[in-house]
């Protein structure tokens, strides 16, 4: 089922996501980021993200374009007025044809003047009239054009769904990236504080003569290294918050993710996932809709060769200043400057373009485009299966890696605790303690990235099977 209700999301979404001020430290000179939940970020993006807004505008554009062929059912009404100055060797009333008023040839006709009797003296002609034309029966030509235009609305709707899912995936990835960046920052801050304690402990030991000066210099170097690490981690948080704001389409420079931890939902069986993707993925539906639209376009082009019946009526006044050659004819009053000779007409017109090479060529080109669209469908199906399988494997790998990452962190913390105790007891060296600290912070960062990888992989899998579309 098409997801044409994006406009309803836009109307229901709040003007700005409900937020709280972030309590995470930031870089100097940068504004503090406001907190949003994932649901708030997604709702705001559906309503305000420029790519989504543009997709909705394209749907409205195609709906307006679909009204163009149907407008041919309405009458065409027009008026016109002409003043013409020129020779009139073959007629006493001259006028130009117009697309708004159908006028039959009424002006008096003279004999074909020879070169001896032809005159180069100009004469005036005036004409004023109003006319109307009404479609009576088009043999399905307009209906074929309207069906092709309606198919383009469906194509735009599927393209809008594709754009929306891509935006939602970008928002989810940016949201989870903020969580990962904040976890890394917390690990960096903790490592700095531990290093600060060790520096102070080493400094006191050197002053008391219980520690060699090399322990203090090593502690100073580690403290500076971890201080640089936390500064860069703050920069990573600020950058990820800016990416989240851009993905959402917010006017804020940065948005902070709420404290709710990202969670990965259970996966359906792979066979069920492939079936869901085949039925719902908007990229496949878009390719199918484009093929259907091209087939209808081929039919609409061929319908241009069908006959057409329309009713035409006009009322006019005219006058020609050239003298008539007819026997007993009177000269027109006003010398052709006053259109005072009335006429009216009504006609039922049948027209049938029996052969038009241009239309035939357009029809052949449209059929060739159909073959391209059929090949595109096969390509999208292949890509769809590949993306679902790859996303499924990525989720499974990321999920199975988490227990190992947690065990790695537990072991690293235990190793650090032992190294810290040995250092404070005077049994361990600063090098041993620094290695334990590096092992611990590396394990903490690896776990944060592992949680992010799982959340990102699950979001990518949800995009692959078009979760969120009815």
* Local structure of 349: helix, strand or coil: strand
Of the candidates 403, 351, 384, the residue with the CA atom closest to the CA atom of residue 464: 384
Q: What is the mean pLDDT of residues 311-338?
A: 71
Report pLDDT for 12. 37
Whether 24 has a pLDDT exceeding 60, the answer reads no
pLDDT, tens digit, 9 for 90 and up, residues 56-87: 999 999 999 999 999 999 999 999 888 877 66
Under 8 Å CB-to-CB from 306, ≥6 apart: which residues? Answer: 138, 139, 140, 141, 352
Task: Report residue 33's pLDDT band, with 50, 70 and 90 as the boundaries.
Answer: confident
> Which residue is listed with tokens 């008391």?
208
Report pLDDT for 1. 33
Report pLDDT for 219. 85
Under 8 Å CB-to-CB from 169, ≥6 apart: which residues? Answer: 459, 460, 462, 463
Report pLDDT for 281. 92
pLDDT, tens digit, 9 for 90 and up, residues 143-162: 999 999 999 999 999 999 99
Angle in degrees, 0-180, between the axes of helices 270-280 and 430-464, rounded to the nearest 10: 50
Whether 17 has a pLDDT exceeding 60, the answer reads no
Strand (E) or helix (H) holding 374: helix 357-424
Report pLDDT for 94. 54
Report pLDDT for 71. 94
Report pLDDT for 454. 93
Mean pLDDT for the chain?
A: 84
Domains of the chain (ranges plus CATH)?
A: 47-70+143-297+379-464 (1.20.1600.10)
pLDDT, tens digit, 9 for 90 and up, residues 38-61: 989 999 999 999 999 999 999 999
Task: Report residue 338's pLDDT band, with 50, 70 and 90 as the boundaries.
Answer: confident
CB 446 within 8 A of CB 183: no
Q: Which of 188-202, 207-221, 244-258, 352-366 has the lowest mean pLDDT?
A: 207-221
Under 8 Å CB-to-CB from 404, ≥6 apart: which residues? Answer: none
Task: Report residue 16's pLDDT band, with 50, 70 and 90 as the boundaries.
Answer: very low
* Local structure of 112: helix, strand or coil: coil
Q: Would the pTM count as exceeding 0.95?
A: no
Residues of the chain with pLDDT > 90, as a percent, come to: 51
- 112 or 387: whose pLDDT is higher? 387
pLDDT, tens digit, 9 for 90 and up, residues 125-137: 888 889 899 999 9
CA distance 450 to 406: 10
Task: Report residue 331's pLDDT band, with 50, 70 and 90 as the boundaries.
Answer: low
pLDDT, tens digit, 9 for 90 and up, residues 74-123: 999 999 888 877 666 555 555 556 666 776 665 544 444 545 556 677 77
């Amino acid at each position: 089922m098409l997801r044409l209700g994006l406009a309803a999301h836009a109307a229901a979404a709040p003007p700005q996501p409900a937020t709280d001020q972030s309590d995470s430290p930031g870089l100097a000179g940068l504004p503090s980021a406001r907190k949003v939940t994932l649901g708030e970020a997604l709702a705001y993006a559906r309503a305000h993200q420029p790519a989504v807004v543009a997709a909705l505008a394209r749907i409205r554009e195609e709906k307006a374009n679909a009204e163009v062929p149907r407008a041919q059912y309405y009458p065409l009404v027009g008026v016109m007025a002409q003043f013409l100055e020129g020779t009139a060797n073959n007629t006493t009333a001259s006028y130009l044809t117009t697309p708004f008023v159908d006028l039959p040839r009424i002006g008096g006709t003279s004999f074909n003047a020879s070169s001896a009797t032809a005159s180069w003296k100009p004469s005036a002609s005036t004409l004023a009239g109003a006319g109307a034309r009404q479609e009576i029966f088009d043999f399905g030509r307009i209906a074929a054009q309207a069906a092709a235009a309606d198919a383009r609305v469906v194509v735009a709707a599927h393209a809008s769904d594709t754009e929306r899912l891509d935006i939602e995936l970008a928002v989810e990835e940016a949201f989870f990236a903020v969580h990962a960046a904040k976890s890394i920052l917390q690990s960096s801050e903790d490592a700095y504080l531990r290093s600060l304690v060790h520096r102070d402990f080493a400094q006191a030991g050197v002053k008391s003569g219980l520690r060699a000066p090399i322990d203090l210099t090593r502690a100073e170097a580690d403290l500076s290294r971890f201080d640089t690490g936390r500064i860069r981690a703050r920069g990573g948080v600020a950058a990820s918050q800016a990416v989240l704001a851009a993905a959402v389409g917010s006017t804020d420079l940065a948005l902070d993710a709420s404290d709710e931890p990202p969670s990965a939902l259970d996966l359906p069986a792979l066979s069920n996932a492939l079936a869901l993707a085949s039925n719902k993925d908007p990229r496949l539906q878009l390719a199918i809709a484009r093929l259907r639209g091209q087939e209808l376009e081929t039919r609409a082009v061929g319908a241009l060769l069908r006959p057409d019946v329309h009713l035409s009526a006009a009322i006019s006044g005219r006058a020609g200043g050239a003298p008539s050659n007819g026997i007993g004819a009177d000269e027109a009053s006003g010398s052709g400057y006053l259109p005072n000779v009335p006429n009216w007409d009504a006609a039922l017109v049948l027209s049938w373009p029996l052969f038009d090479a241009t239309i035939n060529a357009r029809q052949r080109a449209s059929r060739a485009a159909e073959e391209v669209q059929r090949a595109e469908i096969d390509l999208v199906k292949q890509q769809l299966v590949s993306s679902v399988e790859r996303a499924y494997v990525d989720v499974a790998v990321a999920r199975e890696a988490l227990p190992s990452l947690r065990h790695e962190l537990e072991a690293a913390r235990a190793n650090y605790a032992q190294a810290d105790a040995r250092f404070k007891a005077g049994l361990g060296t600063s090098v041993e303690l620094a290695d334990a600290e590096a092992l611990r912070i590396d394990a903490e960062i690896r776990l944060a990235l592992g949680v992010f990888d799982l959340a990102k992989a699950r979001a990518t899998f949800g995009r692959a099977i078009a979760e969120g579309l009815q």
